[in-house]
Chain A
Amino acid sequence: MHDNDNGTEKKNLFHSIYLIEIFKGMMNTLKHFWLVKKFTVQYPEEKLKAAKGYRGEHRLKKDDQGRPKCVACFMCATACPAECIHIKAGEAPWPDRDKYPEEFEIDLLRCIYCGYCELACPCDAIELTETFNIVSTTRGEKLYNKERLLNGK
């Protein structure tokens, strides 16, 4: 036997048809086929639940009278590193409140799901839900307006 150009040893015929290796591989496959627990999830027929604290799409919470809890303080927009929260503030139509968001829009295409907005909010009004399967066929659908954020649709 001599070393060939790339330094590997030349094998004899029995070794070079890899019969033992193929058989070993087949055994491994068959073991997983019948004996090992399976992890594959048949999405979308079957759905997993996101881990607690997962940062998915946003929602705006409502107070006990069904009004947005948000007071349009812009703390979330200030904290947001992606600058994707756009708020237009106005005078609240309710006598017991001063300020409320006339418009509230989050551009989920820019959002990096860091959750800073949730941390910054002094009114506990915004949160990142565990909804992760947010697909859309147009860019426009990824601009969530106040209605969408409050009602989830």
Chain B
Amino acid sequence: MVKLRINNKEIIAEPGTSVMKAALDNGIFIPHFCYHPALSISGNCRICVVSVKNMPKPVTSCTTAVAEGMEVETENKDIAAIRKSVLEFFLINHPIDCPVCDQAGECTLQDFTYLYGSDHSRFSEEKRTWHTKDVGPLVKLWANRCVLCARCVRFLNEITKTGELGIMNRGDRNVIDTFPGMPVDNPLSGNIVDICPVGALISKDFLYQARVWFMDFKQSVCPMCATGCNITAGVYQGKIKRFAPTKNLKVNQYWMCDYGRLSYKFVHSDNRLTAFLTRSQAGSVTKTTLQESVNILKNSLSGDTAVLASAYMDNEGLTALKTVTDKYGIKNIGCLLKPDGKAQAFGGGFKISHDNNPNRKGFENVFGKAVLDNGYRQVIDAVKTGKAGTLYVINGILDYALPQELIDAAGKVKFLVVQDTHSSALTEKAHLVLPSCTYAEKNGAFTNEQGMEQKFNRLIDPAGAAEPDNIILNQL
């Protein structure tokens, strides 16, 4: 271990750590564009210069390793003057599009210019201009705004290893572009928008949706696979506008996949269930209330009821369900699972799980492995053979059409109860429909693939009369 002082604060760091990392890890901020803790060191932006005692010139902190007894100063008059000159170079060709640039408000170029930059420009020549174009299904490039930090290039080389973007031409004519016929369409492409320190790479999905300073930011967990990426949701006027990853070195490092990034759309889709409904034997539908639905449900639950719960339910819902099944002596319990996908691993250890359910582990913890593995078959058989009088399905799986086998079988029961977030072929048949909240509309927790229980927060108000699963189940 190496002992050094940064701004007179004693710091202990591992040998080989950069001064930048040692400072950031200890809550001392050094301005930077090109440095990113998950990517290789590039050292091209030159704004991270610091003074080190007994070194003749200021050094870039991202490329300088810590040494015993080193004394570093991150802010002084000389450093401020250097940063001012560096920023002047950045702004020579920068369009200063801030009024129409989506990055404004979370742009490091804006922030550093505010802190160190000059209030006027001495550059009177023509600015060079570059393309504005789509570089992939999710990403649009404003090459004029690029500060050539190469974070995007390094991400695509080191993490996804797909290398779609490169810096073309030389010197003053350096520009970010795709290789011909190679759009940025890998499953992690959205992350280059997050790591781009300026507004050069912009998410087409979020484009002009909201100014960032008007948004509320809340922490949640992505429900689209068992990795359970930690996410920051941007909410504006009661609607989720974007998801971005939250750093969690044990789960998702700094990243999330594009499918999860766009998954907020399922929460806002048109076919959400918003009311408690009853359907008579003749097929006429009537609106009802939570209280009445609970009463109907209480009367129809018994020992020969079959229950299908899903691995999209949170731990709170599953625990409440366990209490209900114990109370009524229900034996036929099964697990609805979204079919597995392909596991994908990326550089730096980020993984997209093969398991498309956020809470399979949680289900196993509550109901046991036997129910998880064999329960579904047992329930389907009980329903098909007419052993189950009532079938109670608690679904909530996002972006999934229920299996035909289940829909056919469900037609055979005398009383079908469906608790779901979205309308489906099953809710069309159900005698009692209970609208439930998605993960975005309630507080709860999922247990991810690694067995870590992760809390998610309520981001928005529930759709219509929808209630969290556990609120409904606790009343039974």
Which residues of A does B touch, CB under 8 Å?
A: 71-75, 78, 89-91, 98-99, 122-123
Contacts and interface: CB of A to CB of B under 8 A. Distances in A.
A74 B211 CA distance: 7
Contacts of A91: 207-208
B400 interface: no
B114 interface: no
A16 to B, nearest CB: 72
B171 interface: no
A98 B207 CA distance: 11
25 contacts: A71-B99, A71-B100, A72-B100, A72-B208, A73-B98, A73-B99, A73-B100, A74-B211, A74-B214, A75-B99, A78-B211, A78-B213, A78-B214, A89-B208, A89-B209, A90-B208, A91-B207, A91-B208, A98-B97, A98-B100, A98-B132, A99-B100, A99-B208, A122-B99, A123-B99
A105 to B, nearest CB: 14
Contacts of A123: 99
Interface in B185-219: 207-209, 211, 213-214
- Residue of A72, A75, A89, A90 with most chain B CB atoms under a 10 A cut-off: A89
Interface of B: 97-100, 132, 207-209, 211, 213-214
Nearest to B132: A98
- The B interface is mostly helix, strand or loop, or mixed, namely mixed
A100 to B, nearest CB: 9
Contacts, number: 25
A99 B207 CA distance: 10
Given A71-B99, A73-B99, A99-B208, 14 more contacts: A71-B100, A72-B208, A73-B100, A74-B211, A78-B213, A78-B214, A91-B207, A91-B208, A98-B97, A98-B100, A98-B132, A99-B100, A122-B99, A123-B99
Contacts of A74: 211, 214
A146 B213 CA distance: 24
Nearest to B204: A91
Nearest to B207: A91
A38 B99 CA distance: 51
A43 to B, nearest CB: 41
Nearest to B211: A74
Contacts of A90: 208
The 4 closest A-B pairs by CB, nearest first: A73-B99, A99-B100, A89-B208, A98-B100
B105 to A, nearest CB: 10
Nearest to B237: A86
A74 B100 CA distance: 9
A36 to B, nearest CB: 55
B104 to A, nearest CB: 8
A123 B208 CA distance: 18
A141 to B, nearest CB: 24
A122 B132 CA distance: 22
A121 B6 CA distance: 42
A73 B99 CA distance: 5
A89 B236 CA distance: 13
Contacts of A122: 99
B292 to A, nearest CB: 38
- Residue of A71, A72, A74 with most chain B CB atoms under a 10 A cut-off: A74
A24 B169 CA distance: 95
Contacts of A71: 99-100
Contacts of B99: 71, 73, 75, 122-123
Contacts of A72: 100, 208
A53 B97 CA distance: 30
Nearest to A122: B99
A84 to B, nearest CB: 14
A98 B100 CA distance: 7
Contacts of A98: 97, 100, 132
Nearest to B97: A98
A89 B99 CA distance: 12
